[in-house]
Amino acid sequence: MPRVGGPKAAYIASAFFSAAGLPLSAYLISPPGIPQFCEIGNIFSCEAVIQSEYSRIFGIPVAALGAGWFGVALFLSVLAIKKERGGYYLLGWSALGVIGALALLYLEVFQIGSICLLCTMAHALGAAVFASAFLARIWSQPPITSG
Protein backbone atom coordinates (compact mmCIF):
# COMPACT_ATOMS: atom_id res chain seq x y z
CA MET A 1 0.00 0.00 0.00
CA PRO A 2 1.57 3.34 -0.98
CA ARG A 3 2.26 5.95 1.66
CA VAL A 4 0.46 9.24 1.54
CA GLY A 5 3.01 12.01 1.77
CA GLY A 6 5.97 10.31 3.34
CA PRO A 7 8.49 11.70 5.85
CA LYS A 8 8.94 15.08 4.17
CA ALA A 9 5.18 15.76 4.28
CA ALA A 10 5.11 14.80 7.97
CA TYR A 11 7.98 17.20 8.73
CA ILE A 12 6.19 19.95 6.82
CA ALA A 13 3.08 19.24 8.93
CA SER A 14 5.25 19.42 12.05
CA ALA A 15 6.57 22.80 10.94
CA PHE A 16 2.99 23.99 10.36
CA PHE A 17 1.84 22.85 13.84
CA SER A 18 4.92 24.44 15.42
CA ALA A 19 4.33 27.70 13.58
CA ALA A 20 0.69 27.72 14.78
CA GLY A 21 1.68 27.03 18.40
CA LEU A 22 4.25 29.81 18.55
CA PRO A 23 1.88 32.83 18.38
CA LEU A 24 -0.72 31.03 20.51
CA SER A 25 1.82 30.51 23.30
CA ALA A 26 3.12 34.05 22.89
CA TYR A 27 -0.44 35.36 23.28
CA LEU A 28 -0.87 33.36 26.50
CA ILE A 29 2.16 35.05 28.11
CA SER A 30 0.17 38.18 28.81
CA PRO A 31 -3.16 38.29 26.98
CA PRO A 32 -4.71 41.77 26.68
CA GLY A 33 -8.09 40.18 27.38
CA ILE A 34 -9.40 36.67 27.81
CA PRO A 35 -11.76 35.65 24.98
CA GLN A 36 -15.33 35.03 26.11
CA PHE A 37 -15.31 31.40 24.92
CA CYS A 38 -12.49 30.72 27.38
CA GLU A 39 -14.59 31.53 30.41
CA ILE A 40 -17.27 28.86 30.83
CA GLY A 41 -17.98 28.67 34.52
CA ASN A 42 -15.45 27.20 36.91
CA ILE A 43 -14.50 24.18 34.83
CA PHE A 44 -13.17 26.08 31.81
CA SER A 45 -11.35 29.26 32.75
CA CYS A 46 -8.26 30.51 30.98
CA GLU A 47 -8.01 33.36 33.46
CA ALA A 48 -7.92 31.01 36.46
CA VAL A 49 -5.09 29.01 34.86
CA ILE A 50 -3.09 31.98 33.53
CA GLN A 51 -3.26 33.80 36.86
CA SER A 52 -2.63 30.75 39.06
CA GLU A 53 0.49 30.20 41.11
CA TYR A 54 1.43 27.43 38.64
CA SER A 55 1.60 29.79 35.65
CA ARG A 56 5.26 30.67 36.33
CA ILE A 57 8.40 28.65 36.90
CA PHE A 58 11.18 30.64 38.62
CA GLY A 59 9.33 33.79 37.59
CA ILE A 60 9.16 32.82 33.92
CA PRO A 61 5.66 32.42 32.47
CA VAL A 62 4.98 28.83 31.45
CA ALA A 63 3.53 30.21 28.22
CA ALA A 64 6.92 31.80 27.43
CA LEU A 65 8.53 28.39 27.87
CA GLY A 66 5.87 27.01 25.53
CA ALA A 67 6.62 29.68 22.94
CA GLY A 68 10.31 28.81 23.19
CA TRP A 69 9.47 25.12 22.82
CA PHE A 70 7.44 25.79 19.67
CA GLY A 71 10.25 27.96 18.30
CA VAL A 72 12.78 25.15 18.75
CA ALA A 73 10.28 22.64 17.32
CA LEU A 74 9.85 24.85 14.24
CA PHE A 75 13.62 25.07 13.78
CA LEU A 76 14.01 21.29 14.18
CA SER A 77 11.11 20.66 11.78
CA VAL A 78 12.79 22.77 9.09
CA LEU A 79 16.09 21.03 9.82
CA ALA A 80 14.37 17.64 9.48
CA ILE A 81 12.93 18.67 6.10
CA LYS A 82 16.44 19.42 4.88
CA LYS A 83 18.45 16.73 6.72
CA GLU A 84 17.64 13.21 7.82
CA ARG A 85 19.30 13.56 11.26
CA GLY A 86 17.07 16.47 12.23
CA GLY A 87 14.17 14.04 12.58
CA TYR A 88 15.78 12.31 15.56
CA TYR A 89 16.17 15.60 17.39
CA LEU A 90 12.62 16.63 16.56
CA LEU A 91 11.22 13.34 17.82
CA GLY A 92 13.09 13.65 21.13
CA TRP A 93 12.18 17.30 21.56
CA SER A 94 8.53 16.68 20.80
CA ALA A 95 8.41 13.74 23.23
CA LEU A 96 9.65 16.09 25.96
CA GLY A 97 6.93 18.54 24.96
CA VAL A 98 4.22 15.89 25.31
CA ILE A 99 5.51 14.97 28.78
CA GLY A 100 5.46 18.65 29.74
CA ALA A 101 1.94 19.11 28.36
CA LEU A 102 0.71 16.12 30.37
CA ALA A 103 2.24 17.62 33.52
CA LEU A 104 0.55 20.95 32.80
CA LEU A 105 -2.77 19.23 32.16
CA TYR A 106 -2.42 17.46 35.52
CA LEU A 107 -1.86 20.82 37.22
CA GLU A 108 -4.86 22.35 35.49
CA VAL A 109 -7.24 19.54 36.40
CA PHE A 110 -6.06 18.48 39.85
CA GLN A 111 -4.34 21.53 41.33
CA ILE A 112 -6.02 24.56 39.75
CA GLY A 113 -9.40 22.96 39.12
CA SER A 114 -9.93 24.71 35.77
CA ILE A 115 -9.00 23.93 32.20
CA CYS A 116 -7.68 26.63 29.89
CA LEU A 117 -9.07 26.03 26.40
CA LEU A 118 -6.30 28.07 24.76
CA CYS A 119 -3.69 26.12 26.71
CA THR A 120 -5.39 22.89 25.60
CA MET A 121 -5.13 24.07 22.00
CA ALA A 122 -1.38 24.61 22.52
CA HIS A 123 -1.08 21.14 24.08
CA ALA A 124 -2.91 19.62 21.11
CA LEU A 125 -0.55 21.39 18.69
CA GLY A 126 2.41 20.02 20.65
CA ALA A 127 0.91 16.52 20.43
CA ALA A 128 0.45 17.03 16.67
CA VAL A 129 4.15 17.95 16.37
CA PHE A 130 5.01 14.70 18.16
CA ALA A 131 2.62 12.65 16.01
CA SER A 132 4.07 14.15 12.84
CA ALA A 133 7.65 13.49 13.95
CA PHE A 134 6.74 9.94 14.97
CA LEU A 135 5.06 9.21 11.64
CA ALA A 136 8.01 10.69 9.76
CA ARG A 137 10.40 8.37 11.60
CA ILE A 138 8.21 5.35 10.83
CA TRP A 139 7.82 6.34 7.19
CA SER A 140 11.55 6.90 6.78
CA GLN A 141 12.36 3.30 7.72
CA PRO A 142 13.01 0.89 4.87
CA PRO A 143 10.08 -1.41 4.14
CA ILE A 144 10.12 -4.89 5.65
CA THR A 145 10.18 -7.53 2.96
CA SER A 146 9.57 -11.21 3.31
CA GLY A 147 11.65 -13.62 1.46
pLDDT digits (tens, 9 = 90+) for 54-67: 999 999 999 999 99
Domain that holds residue 12: 6-31+38-139
Q: Looking at the domain assignment, is residue 131 inside a domain?
A: yes
Quickly count: other Cβ atoms within 10 Å of residue 86's Cβ. 19
Q: Which pTM value belongs to this model?
A: 0.90
Beta bridge partners of 56: 61
pLDDT digits (tens, 9 = 90+) for 68-120: 999 999 999 999 999 877 899 999 999 999 999 999 999 999 999 999 999 99
Beta bridge partners of 59: none
CATH of the domain at 25: 1.20.1440.130
Q: Looking at the domain assignment, is residue 145 inside a domain?
A: no
Q: Looking at the domain assignment, is residue 70 inside a domain?
A: yes
Domain count, the chain: 1
Q: Looking at the domain assignment, is residue 144 inside a domain?
A: no
Q: Looking at the domain assignment, is residue 50 inside a domain?
A: yes
Q: Looking at the domain assignment, is residue 134 inside a domain?
A: yes
